[in-house]
Amino acid sequence: MDERLDCCRYRPSLDDLLADAVMEPVLRSAGLDQHELREMMVETARRIEDRDRQSDGGTDTADE
């Protein structure tokens, strides 16, 4: 199992993933384009951060 972890040391950025030729047909089959996926990922990250702040006793934010 350690060998599998060694091959995955590089964490591609969202830009790296979107530049991969495999992503175009994947996005097309999902009915998305690169811009829509980027917006969805940014919004998801924001919601996760908000949830984590709330669970850490931070200030409450309105749910959407």
8, 9, 18, 33 from 48: Cα distances, Å: 24, 24, 22, 23
Indicate the average pLDDT of the chain. 83
Q: Is residue 33 part of a domain?
A: yes
Give the Cα separation of 33 and 5 in Å (integer).
31
Q: Is residue 22 part of a domain?
A: yes
Q: Is residue 48 part of a domain?
A: yes
Query: What range defines the domain where residue 43 resides?
Result: 12-55
Q: Is residue 61 part of a domain?
A: no
Domain total in the chain: 1
Other C-beta atoms closer than 10 Å to the C-beta of 48 total: 10
Q: Is residue 2 part of a domain?
A: no
16, 43, 58 from 26: Cα distances, Å: 15, 20, 38
Q: Is residue 6 part of a domain?
A: no
Give the Cα separation of 20 and 16 in Å (integer).
6
Q: Is residue 64 part of a domain?
A: no
Q: What is the pLDDT of residues 31-62, one digit of tens each?
A: 999 999 999 999 999 999 999 999 987 555 55
